[in-house]
Every structure is written in structure tokens, then in C-alpha cells.
A and B are shown apart, each in its own frame.
Chain A
Amino acid sequence: MGERAITAARPHPVDAAELSSLIEACRAGDALAWETFVRQYQGRLFALAYSYVGNREDARDLAQEIFVKLYEVRVQWVAGDEFLPWVFRVARNRSIDFLRRRKVRTPALAVDEHDLADLADQSPSAEAQSITADRRSLLRAALRSLSAINREIVVLRDVHGLSIQHVASMLGIPAGTVKSRASRARVELAERVLALTRDRGEA
């Protein structure tokens, strides 16, 4: 069930050859390639940063720090399928440093009002667009209400589509634990979504 859905709707699929050439150009110091990389991945890394810090302003700062770090270590970039997990590992480490430094605690059920104005949607009508934005806002709120480890597993596994092995390696826990936790986290998330839907419906 999970694999089907995860691999189906991944936005902006990047061709492997195109990504490899982009990585090589960035490693060689090509400014244009770097700008292309930033434009191509800023949405993903910003979303990842947002899942850690829970508000847009901090997420912007954190995403910027992640890009600066990636730029500083660009000669170490790994090509191929390992690139994205490696980028996410760097991003996760920077996020942890960021949270330690600023002692940010993610609010349990705080909903960023900017979520409601999520403009990345491509739906045709304004009504459909609003519904989608509301739905995303609700999903993000439900995600933030999960425990840190469950949220991280769902974000890395179900949102960003990393493999079980990559998530396990990144979090430093066995693959079996990731699988069972992911399953539990999905059920927990579904219950939170149901509860939030009921609350918003009543309100």
C-alpha cells in the first residue's frame, strides 16, 4: 500500500543523467548550475526545514543555512542514487544544530497561518485551490502533532520518499524498527487528521 502511493506522485521528477551533470557542474564551481540547483531544490529543502522548525521564518533561515552548507562542501557531493539521501542527511544535521542553537520547540498544534495561503498548488479553480491549501494545512498540523521521531519517519519516508534503509541509516535505528514505527505513525497520523477534521468541522 505504502510503496504504491509513495512512488506514484513524486513531483518534479529529476532525470538521473540531468542530475548527474548538474552535480558535476556544481562541483566544478559553475555558478549557473548552482543557481539551477538552488531553484530546483529550494521547495523540497524548505519543506524539510519547515517540518523540523514549524514556522516559515525559521524555516527560511534554516533552509538558507542548509544551502550554504551544501555549497561549502560541494566538492564532496556524491553522484547517483545516494545524492538525495546525502543531501537530506546534511539538511537533518543542520536542522538539529539549528534547533539546539535556538532552542526552538515545535508547538504541539500550532498552525502557521501562511499554510492556508499555500500558493504552490496547480488546481484549476480558486475553490479547488483553497480546498487543497486547507487540506495541506490540516496535514501539516496533524504532522506537527506527532512525536518527533514519528514525524521524522513519516516526513522522510512518506513525504520525501526515502527508502527504509536510508531512513534507518539516517536515524541510526534498525530497518525493522523504521518499518513498524512508520506503520504506527501512519495510523496515528490518520487519527490526528480525523480529529482535526472533526474539530474544524465543528468550528
Chain B
Amino acid sequence: MSANACDLCRARILADEPVAAHLEDCADCRAWHEAYRAGVEVWRGEEIDAFADGVLVRTSMLDALIAELPSLVEMDPGPGFTERVLLHTSKKPATAIWRDRWLALVRRPRFAWEAAYVATLCWVLIFGNPVAALEWGTSRVSAIARERVTGTVSRIQADLDTWQVRLVLDSSAEAGGDAPPATRVAGALERAWRAGSAWIGRIFTPIVEALTEAFKQMAEWFSGAAPQARPPSDTEPAGTPVRSPQ
């Protein structure tokens, strides 16, 4: 046996005396004792050769192991490791460090995918769905212009006509002669109202038309830049898939 316990300890172990205190401090005896305990059942079965072989294998294995373990002290980290460490620990100017980081970022295989994703995200966040939005905006502006400006002027015109008719009827009901002061005032008011309406129309109509035209042009431009799928027409037949001839 290569892992020998000291004579005193061996005598005590064989005499079955408590040796725990000594085993705490003596690694050799401890190894021997472990081997002894592992084989003691075999020993009791009087298979002394098997027991001795077992102890021999265990102790020689332990010796070999202790001798082999220092060979694991080093491992080859692979090519390029030193350069990687030096790259991360060298004193480079800040611009060079940022350039290296940028190049490392750009040279990754998934960089193109990431850049495309970010660009698409920005485009959608800024412009939304530009074509549909502008087309909707054009028609909406035209409708609002028609409804608010033209409708208001028409309503005011109708009110004025009604008012004038009533004033004329009221004045006719009175005695003849020159028109009363109320009729004259009403006429002046009507003329002023008509002039104001015409002025408002002159001012706002070109603005509304210009805005509408601008929206239309932008919508046409976007439609040309990013054509959308055309909605199915009522006059076209339904798109039934046709199998190709075999």
C-alpha cells in the first residue's frame, strides 16, 4: 500500500480504538482509514485478497490523482484571446475606442436587420401611414371648407332674404310715401352684410383651395413613392385562383 498510516494509528485502527482526533490532522491516515472502512465488509467476509486489492486500487488511484491534478493548472484559451484582452486594456484615445466599438457593432451579422428595424420604426412613428392619412386629409379638408364656409354664407344669405322680405311687407302695410327709416336702415344693413360676406368669401376661399390643392399634391406624391394595394373594383371579376396546367 502506498498510502500508509503511521504505525501507532494503524495499530489503533486495527485495535478498533477511536482515532477521530488523529484523523482530523493526518491526511494520510484519513485516506488509509477511508480505504479501510470501504473494504471492511469484504474483510469480514474473509476475502482478504479482494480487500487488499481494493485498498491498493484506491490508494494507488489517489496517489496517481494527486500527481495528475497539477497538469490541469493551465488550459489553452484559444487563438486571439491575448489580443482580446490587450484590446480591452490598452490606453487608446477616446475616438479610437469609439471607432472600434462602432466597427465592432457594424460588423456583426445582425446589424443590417437591426438597422432596418430601427429605421422602419422611426418612419412609422414620424409619418404613420402617410398615403392613407393624406388621402383622408384632403377629402376631409374639402368637406370642412364646403360645410363651414359655403354653408355659413348660404345660411346668412337666406336669413337676410327672409329679413328683407319681412321688412318690405311691414313697410307696405303702413301708409304710402317715402320708405320709413326702419326700411332704409334695413337696406343699409343688408348691403353691408352682403359686402362683408363677399369679403370673407374672397379671403377664405383661396386659402381653402390652396390647402386642398397642397394636400392633393402631397397625396399624389406619396402615392407615386409608395404605391398601395389597389382595392378590388366592382367591375372586375373576383380573383379566383387558377391552377396551372400539369
Contact = CB atoms under 8 A, between A and B. Distances in A.
Q: Is A bound to B?
A: yes
Nearest to A177: B24
Contacts of B77: 42-43, 46, 56, 59-60, 63
Contact of B73 (A42, A47, A143): A47
A131 interface: no
B70 interface: yes
Interface string B81-99: 1101110111100000000
B62 A11 contact: no
Contacts of B159: none
A5 B63 CA distance: 8
A198 B81 CA distance: 36
B78 interface: yes
A64 B85 contact: yes
A166 interface: no
A52 interface: no
Interface string A160-187: 1100000000000000100110111011
Nearest to A161: B70
Interface stretch (B25-33, B112-120, B125-133): B25-33
Given A183-B27, A186-B66, A35 B82 contact: yes
Contacts of B58: 187, 190
Nearest to B2: A1
Given A60-B77, A68-B85, A139-B69, A194 B61 contact: yes
Given A9-B71, A35-B82, A71-B89, A43 B76 contact: yes
A110 B66 CA distance: 23
Nearest to A70: B89
B67 A2 contact: no
Say which size band chain A's interface belongs to: 35 or more
A73 to B, nearest CB: 12
A179 B27 contact: yes
Contacts of B61: 190, 193-194
B34 A11 contact: no
B85 A9 contact: no
Contacts of B31: 1, 183, 186-187
Nearest to B34: A187
B66 A136 contact: no
Interface in A114-139: 118-120, 132, 135-136, 139
Interface in B29-83: 30-31, 34, 57-58, 61-63, 65-78, 81-82
Contact of B81 (A1, A34, A46, A193): A46
Contacts of B57: 194
Nearest to A9: B70
A200 interface: no
Interface in A53-75: 56, 59-60, 63-64, 67-68, 71
Nearest to A60: B77
B24 A136 contact: no
Contacts of A9: 67, 70-71
B66 A5 contact: yes
A151 to B, nearest CB: 12
Given A67-B85, A154-B69, A187-B62, A11 B74 contact: yes
Contacts of B27: 1-2, 179, 182-183
B3 interface: yes
Interface of B: 3, 24-25, 27-28, 30-31, 34, 57-58, 61-63, 65-78, 81-82, 84-86, 88-91
28 contacts: A1-B3, A1-B31, A9-B67, A9-B71, A10-B70, A10-B73, A11-B70, A34-B89, A35-B82, A42-B81, A43-B73, A43-B77, A47-B74, A63-B77, A67-B85, A67-B88, A68-B89, A118-B75, A132-B71, A139-B68, A179-B25, A180-B24, A183-B27, A190-B58, A190-B61, A193-B61, A194-B57, A194-B61
Interface of A: 1-2, 5-6, 8-12, 29, 31, 34-35, 38-39, 42-44, 46-47, 50, 56, 59-60, 63-64, 67-68, 71, 118-120, 132, 135-136, 139-140, 143, 154, 158-161, 176, 179-180, 182-184, 186-187, 189-190, 193-194
